[in-house]
Structure 1
Amino acid sequence: MIKVSVMYPNSAEATFDIDYYCNTHVPLVVSLLGDALKAGAVDHGIAGGAPGDAPAFIAMGHLTFDSVDAFQQSFGPHAEEILGDLPNFTNVQPTIQISEIKI
């Protein structure tokens, strides 16, 4: 199993509409990726590691697939639509990481 993490870095200039992300963008992604998507989660950053520190990321979306190939085949045909929705909720360029789930 693999996890695709879409992480939105925090900064003073960053804007992010978490309600749009959770209620519109994520359901769009889920509907487009179909059965290849095994699970998903959204994290909303609230604090950093030390008291008073801002979170490193405003939000993170995590998508689980059986393999990198399964992700690429389900995402590729819809990449333009999914990525085209980003300006509707953020001005941040996300960082993407694909990880192998070990535990």
Structure 2
Amino acid sequence: MLNYTLLHREKEDSRFDFEYYLNVHMPRSIELLSNAKGFVKVSVEKGVELQEYNIASNYVAMCHYYFETIEDFLNAFMPHA
């Protein structure tokens, strides 16, 4: 199984709308890819900062697509990239 991870880096002076990403973008992405050959699952993670411990995240979000093979992933993803 292949895990293809998209990393959305934290950028100074930028805004990442996680609610939009989770509730609009990802459902559309899942709609486009989930019926493809070899699709297994998708997961999304949100970067967390713990200011009281001075711990910052380098990423605002991570998306993990799981497919049986790299070919399955590329065949599903590239027409929409």
TM over 0.5: yes
1:21 match:
21
Counterpart AA for 1:8: H
2:74 to 72, 76, 88: 72
**For structure 2, which runs of at least 5 residues remain unmatched after alignment?**
none
RMSD: 1.4
Q: Which runs of 4+ in 1 moved over 3 A?
A: none
Tell me the matched-pair count.
77
- Provide TM-score, normalisation by structure 2: 0.85
2:49 to 36, 47, 50: 47
2:61 match:
59
- Provide TM-score, normalisation by structure 1: 0.69
**For structure 1, which runs of at least 5 residues remain unmatched after alignment?**
80-103
Counterpart AA for 1:24: V
Counterpart AA for 2:48: I
Query: Sequence identity of aligned pairs in percent?
Result: 30
Which structure exhibits the higher relative contact order, with contacts defined as CA atoms closer than 8 Å and separated by 6 or more residues? 1
